[in-house]
Amino acid sequence: GDRACYDEAKRFAEAITMSYLRQHDVNARIIRIFNTYGPRMRLNDGRVVPNFIGQALRGEPLSIYGNGEQTRSFCFVSDLVEGIIRAMNKPGTKGEVINLGNSEETTIRRFGEVVCQLMGVPMTVVDRPLPPDDPTRRCPDLTKARNLLDWGPKVGLETGLQATSAYFRNQLEVSGQCV
Ligand code: UDP
């Protein structure tokens, strides 16, 4: 499929990590990062968080791909970093494969509503085709992260989006693109 190189690159990285661990006793563990967002993302990286916030700030309609009923769960960057550091430092996690992310699942349409509500703009939408191989659902099982790392996400979507939109607003104001 269109995204095969991406999927296979991740699979290869995990396979070689485990091979080095077995062969050379490298002290490694694997983290699977689920959708993460926050300040210092690139506004034009094409992902849904910068796209929707940028569109709301410019007074443009939100580009919803497909019917918007696909789900994602968004983890704020500071939570992810804390999880990564714990995984690095925690004894007894060598060779473990651990999901990190947020398990608060939302449809993309609902996510758009939250963004517009928070930013105080009316929600208008433009329908765009669903990209190939777009998963209908993505939500991490965080049981292992909680048990092994005593970790869970702390920053809720609204708080995280506020910090992120403030960052993007600043970026756009500098270039005079805010409405
Ligand atoms: N998406 C959307 N509009 C956009 C960008 C993304 O509706 O302008 C959808 C996309 O189809 C996917 C979800 O939002 O279902 C998350 O997309 P993103 O690229 O941020 O992450 P990923 O697909 O890698 O989970």
The minimum-distance atom of ligand 1 relative to the CA of 130 is 11
Say what percent of the chain tops pLDDT 90: 93
- Residue-level pLDDT at 155: 98
Ligand 1 centroid–CA 175 distance in Å is: 25
Cβ-in-10-Å burial (0-12, 13-18, 19+) of 66 comes to middle
pLDDT digits (tens, 9 = 90+) for 27-85: 999 999 999 999 999 999 999 999 999 999 999 999 999 999 999 999 999 999 999 99
Q: Is the pTM here over 0.85, yes or no? A: yes
In this predicted structure, the answer to whether residue 108 has a pLDDT above a threshold of 90 is yes
- Ligand 1: which residue has its CA nearest to atom 23? 134
37 neighbors 70 (Cβ within 8 angstroms): no
Q: At what angle do helices 157-174 and 48-58 cross, to 10 degrees?
A: 60
Pocket test for ligand 1, best of 65, 109, 124 (most atoms within 8 A of CB): 65
- Residue-level pLDDT at 2: 81
Name all residues whose Cβ lies below 6 A of ligand 1: 35, 47-48, 51, 63-65, 70, 72, 108, 130-131, 134, 138
Average pLDDT taken over every residue of the chain: 96
Ligand 1 centroid–CA 130 distance in Å is: 9
Catalytic residue status for 20: no
Residue by residue, DSSP assigns 121-138 as ----EEEEPPPTT--S--
For 128, list phi and psi in degrees, rounded to 5: -125, 155
Structural fold of domain 4-173: Rossmann fold (3.40.50)
User: How far apart are the C-alpha atoms of 65 and 129, rounded to whole Å?
Assistant: 5
pLDDT digits (tens, 9 = 90+) for 135-157: 999 999 999 999 999 999 999 99
